[in-house]
Amino acid sequence: MESTSPVASPVLLSAAATRRPAPSASALPALRELVRSLPWLMLIFAVPGIITASHTWFYAQAKDPTYPFTRALVMQVPPWQYWAFVTPLILALGRRFRLERGVWHRSLAVHLTSLAAVMVPYATLIYFLSRAVGERLISDGTLGQLLPLLMAKYVVTSLLIYGGIVAIGSAVEYHRRYREGELAQSQLETRLVHAQLDALRAQLHPHFLFNTLNAISVLVRKQDTTGSIRMLTGVSELLRMALNSTGRQLVPFHEDVDFLERYLDIEQTRFQDRLQVVRAIDPATLSALVPSLILQPLVENAIKHGLATRSGAGRVELRASREGSRLVLEVLDDGPGLAPGWDQHDGCIGVANVRARLHQLYGEGHVFTLENRSGGGVRARLELPFQAASSEALAS
């Protein structure tokens, strides 16, 4: 049976197969990125350092023409370079604690605390630089005496610099997330088109058409006009429903159930008494939004590998229930189960597409497992966030 390895969020269920990378694995690339960006940050912050040093020197010339430019550079450039070293920390805090609606008060408290922590070494640096160049005000007091005064003096400047770094970092981050969202949306639309084409191809597959036409010819020879018309109407309706879902990423679950009913109607006519379908669908789930055509590949696999490969009767179960904020969908069969190395075989396009689309739509907020049942057969299980469809979607 085609399938995919479990794709799930470890935050939601401990049995999920997807694992987050270890912290140590992500820390090293971040450190390398910091080392690569530091020279550029030092160069960027050197510009305002030189500008403020020039301003200080020109201002000092009015009082003391002997005031050296090097003294102004010593007083202004190192403090600006200090901001180059703390910028990565500020940007990291900005990404972690965003000033967004609903959480801005908590994030603001974190940033104000961070600003105070950053200002302590900043004021300390200014103190020692001032003593080094012989500033009279600084030389008359100790660090403990002058540190609060220096922090009060430079609090507005520090707040503007800190806020500017956070603002620029947030703008870059939002732009990055916007571009990633555009890319994800584009990929999602591509996956949706592929899923629709895969569904159509499954119905138009030569083997499927041969079996369907053969079943219709048998009904015609038996003069079963009703059965023949039922088969032809079912194929036509199935194709129409697949085409009508084009362009929609999520549909109400009742639409997916209707599509499955048409598909199963054809398969039951084809297999006659050999195919037994059991449905346990909670009516409360019919209004939930699900990815379009998400269950058809799983049902097709259950029939293809659970029934078509043997001469006896087979059973397929469809289950849908709501568990709190989760929508649980299951497709079960009583076939021979998954053979060793099944995931290495060809023909896994359908379920691989299901896995990719679920990942694009829900990220780590879903669970998708496919495994052998203890009593025989295979269970495909999906857990999705329960999203109620709008009244307009339900009416359509």
pLDDT of residue 20 exceeding 50, the answer is no
> Quick check: is 244 in a domain?
no
**pLDDT class of 237 with cuts at 50, 70, 90:** confident
> In total, how many domains does the chain have?
1
Q: What angle do CA 296, 297, 302 make, to 5 degrees?
A: 95
Residue 167 lies in a domain: yes
Distance CA 164, CA 221 (A): 81
Mean pLDDT value across the chain:
78
Domain for residue 313, yes or no?
no
Long-range Cβ contacts of 126-132 (<8 Å, 24+ apart): 126/75, 126/79, 126/150, 126/154, 129/74, 129/75, 129/78, 129/79, 130/75, 132/74
Q: How far is CA 15 from CA 5, 7, 329, 351, 386, in A?
A: 12, 10, 17, 20, 20
Residue 120 φ/ψ region, left for φ over 0, alpha for ψ in the -120 to 50 degree band, beta for the rest:
alpha
Per-residue pLDDT of 149-178, as tens digits, reads: 888 888 998 999 998 988 888 888 888 888
- Structure confidence at residue 263 (pLDDT): 82
Q: Give the pLDDT band (50/70/90) at residue 2.
A: very low
347 is a domain residue:
no
User: Does the residue 12 lie in any domain?
Assistant: no
Q: How confident is the model at residue 287 (pLDDT cuts 50, 70, 90)?
A: very high
pLDDT of 146 strictly over 90: no
Q: What pLDDT was estimated at residue 30? A: 53
pLDDT above 80 (res 70): yes
CB atoms within 10 A of CB 67: 16
313-365 pLDDT per residue, tens: 888 999 999 999 999 999 999 888 877 766 555 445 667 778 888 887 888 99
pLDDT, tens only, 38-64 = 888 889 888 998 998 888 888 888 888
Three-state SS for 287? Answer: coil
What number is the average pLDDT over the span 133-145? 72
Instruction: Inform me whether the pLDDT recorded for 274 exceeds 90.
Output: no
The predicted structure's pLDDT at residue 220: 82
pLDDT of residue 202: 54
3-state secondary structure of 78: helix
Give the range with max mean pLDDT: 7-16, 24-33, 59-68. 59-68
Say what the pLDDT of residue 23 is.
Answer: 40
Decide if 373 is inside a domain.
Answer: no
Asked if residue 61 belongs to a domain, the reply is yes
Distance CA(19)–CA(26), nearest Å, equals: 13
Instruction: Evaluate whether residue 276 is within a structural domain.
Output: no
% of the chain residues with pLDDT over 70: 78
Q: Which residues pair with 372 in a beta bridge?
A: 378
**Helix intervals (H) in 290-373:** 296-306, 349-362
Beta bridge partners of 251: 290
Residue 175 CA to residue 180 CA, distance in Å, equals: 9
Lowest pLDDT segment from 208-212, 262-266, 294-298, 377-381: 208-212
Q: What would the pLDDT profile of 296-325 be if each residue is shown by its tens digit?
A: 888 888 887 777 667 778 889 999 999 999
Give 6-62 as a DSSP string: -EE-TTT-TT----PPPHHHHHHHHHHHHHHHHHHHHHHHHHHHHHHHHHHHHHHHT
Instruction: Indicate whether 396 pLDDT > 60.
Output: no
Q: Looking at residue 306, what is its pLDDT?
A: 74
Q: How far apart are CA 53 and CA 60, in angstroms?
A: 10
Nearest to 198 by CA among 296, 339, 55, 306: 296
- What domain range includes position 123? 24-182
